[in-house]
Amino acid sequence: MASRHLSRSIVMQSLYEWDFYGANAGALDAIVDRNVKNFGPGLEDLNFVKSLAAGVVSHLQDIDAIIEKAAPEWPIAQIPLVDKNVLRLGLFELLYANKEEVPPKVAINEAIELAKSFSGTISGKFVNGVLGTVYKQLEEK
């Protein structure tokens, strides 16, 4: 598994756990550290993992509002936690990450793969639809 893909997997799992246990702001760093130790020993770029996790949380309200606009038939509280956190990670990379480091289509494809791996094929289609909608709106601007 490529280093960046593994990093995204760890961040998504950490966000899931953090969200599941009540989204305590101080707990995410400890969750990320434990998950890196358990699932990514020897991971080369820990800054990438930590910056993704911190970035998602710092833009959480904006990201959730974008999810609600892009998927109006799915209130944020009804989206399964895995799918919601895959979307959060994908949207963070799509909207706020360095586009030269992570091109938009890479961010979308990575999110789709995470959804398929951790949730299912239908989730991959849902994530693709939401991120594709946001990407189209970005291109129109």
30 vs 45, more confident: 30
pLDDT for residue 8: 96
Structure tokens of 84?
């919601």
Q: Which CATH number fits domain 3-140: 1.10.940.10, 2.30.30.90, 1.10.10.10, 1.25.40.10?
A: 1.10.940.10
pLDDT at 24: 84
pLDDT tens digits for 1-12? 479 999 999 999
Q: How far apart are CA 141 and CA 61, in angstroms?
A: 22
Domain coordinates in residue numbering, the chain: 3-140
Check whether 141 has a pLDDT greater than 80. Answer: no
Show contacts of 48-51: CB within 8 Å, 24+ apart.
Answer: 48/4, 48/7, 49/7, 49/10, 49/11
